[in-house]
Amino acid sequence: MTYNDTIGQLPTPCYYYNLELLDATLKNVLKESSRYPGFHLHYAVKANANPVLLKRISRFGLGADCVSGNEVLRALECGFSAGKIVYAGVGKTDREIETALANDIFCFNSESLPEVNVIQEIAERMGTKARVALRVNPNVDAHTHHYITTGIEENKFGIYLYDLERVIGVVQKFPHIELIGLHFHIGSQITDMNVFRSLCLKVNEIQARLAQQGIAFPHINFGGGLGINYDQPYEEPVADFKNYFATFARFYEPLPQQQVHFEPGRALVAHCGDLIAKVLYVKEGKKKKFAVLDAGMNDLMRPALYQAFHKIENITSDKPEEKYDVVGPICESSDCFGKDVLLNGVSRGDTIVIHSTGAYGEVMASRYNLRELPGVFYAG
Site residues for ligand PLP per CB under 6 A:
44, 46-47, 65, 67, 88, 185, 188, 223-226, 263-267, 359
Across the chain, the runs of DSSP E, i.e. the strands, are 14-18, 39-44, 63-66, 85-87, 107-110, 130-137, 159-160, 177-183, 219-221, 259-262, 273-284, 289-293, 312-314, 321-327, 336-344, 351-354, 375-379
Q: Which is nearer to ligand PLP, 149 or 298 (CB)?
A: 149
Q: Which is nearer to ligand PLP, 63 or 264 (CB)?
A: 264
Q: Which is nearer to ligand PLP, 101 or 228 (CB)?
A: 228
Q: Which is nearer to ligand PLP, 179 or 226 (CB)?
A: 226
Q: Which is nearer to ligand PLP, 47 or 295 (CB)?
A: 47
In the 8-state DSSP scheme, what is residue 90? Answer: T
> Cβ 319 to ligand PLP, closest distance in Å?
37
> Cβ 44 to ligand PLP, closest distance in Å?
3
> Cβ 263 to ligand PLP, closest distance in Å?
4
Q: Report d(CA 310, CA 103) in Å as an integer.
A: 38
> Cβ 67 to ligand PLP, closest distance in Å?
6
Classified as helix, coil or strand, 313 is strand
- Residue 128: CB atoms within 10 A of its CB come to 12
- Which H/E stretch holds residue 94? helix 94-102
Q: Which is nearer to ligand PLP, 87 or 324 (CB)?
A: 87
Q: Pairing state of beta strands 351-354 and 273-284?
A: antiparallel
Q: Which is nearer to ligand PLP, 159 or 226 (CB)?
A: 226
- Angle of helix 193-211 versus helix 164-171 axis, rounded to 10: 60
> Cβ 12 to ligand PLP, closest distance in Å?
26
Q: Report d(CA 230, CA 162) in Å as an integer.
A: 37
- What is the maximum alpha-carbon separation in the chain? 70
> Cβ 221 to ligand PLP, closest distance in Å?
8
Q: Which is nearer to ligand PLP, 7 or 269 (CB)?
A: 269
> Cβ 132 to ligand PLP, closest distance in Å?
14
> Cβ 262 to ligand PLP, closest distance in Å?
9
Contacts of 341 (CB under 8 A, 6+ apart): 312, 323, 324, 325, 326
Q: Report d(CA 4, CA 313) in Å as an integer.
A: 11
Classified as helix, coil or strand, 176 is coil
